[in-house]
Structure 1
Amino acid sequence: MLIAQSIKDKLGAALSPTHLEIINESHKHRVPKDAETHFKVVVVSEAFVGKRLIGRHRAINEALSDEFAAGLHSLSMYTYTPEEWAELAEVPDSPKCTS
């Protein structure tokens, strides 16, 4: 199974998101062609209501522990409640790779 599909399945099961984007940004880094090592996720979920950013990120990291063990190197996480998402103008760009 592709890592992107695994991320989608696991975050869907763990967080029941109302909006989920998985963007493979590996091509922006020094990795082999068709690599699946660097991703950006945008997750909107009721599960984030009342949680601080660290708690949101921990929930994602826990859900994807197998993917990190299998070679997922970097994950930019943008996590929102449905209310936060409704007020958002746009999702920020991922940080630039320094290498």
Structure 2
Amino acid sequence: MPQPSDRTSRIRDLLTAAFEPEHLSVVDDSARHAGHAGAAPGGETHYNIEITSHAFAGLSRVQIQRAVMMVLQKEFDSGLHALSIQAKTPQ
């Protein structure tokens, strides 16, 4: 199994600290976007995230997306280009 990149580890750590998820999957999907806008030769630009957390209870899908994006703002500022977020509560 490949080692997670620095960005992958940072994303995982930031989301864990912010939302205490029951489930969290962070996948670097940059290779599928090679040659597209925002893609970098070294990857770490496009990610798929699956997260399940009680912290999302009572929030709309848009509110959850905004909360996740806000937690990861520094990553966007330093080269993260795109994020696919699948977020839900344990219920």
Quickly name the TM-score band, shorter chain normalised: 0.7 to 0.9
Counterpart in the other structure of 1:5: 9
Given candidates 14, 18, 30, the residue that maps to 2:18 is 14
State the SS of the aligned residue for 1:5.
helix
What stretches of structure 1 of length at least 5 have no aligned partner?
A: 84-99
1:2 deviates by 0.9
Q: TM-score, normalised by structure 1?
A: 0.79
Identity %: 35
Q: CA RMSD in A?
A: 1.3
Counterpart in the other structure of 2:48: 40
C-alpha distance in structure 2 between counterparts of 1:49 and 1:34, whole Å? 36
State the SS of the aligned residue for 1:71.
coil
What stretches of structure 2 of length at least 5 have no aligned partner?
A: none
Given candidates 66, 69, 81, the residue that maps to 2:77 is 69
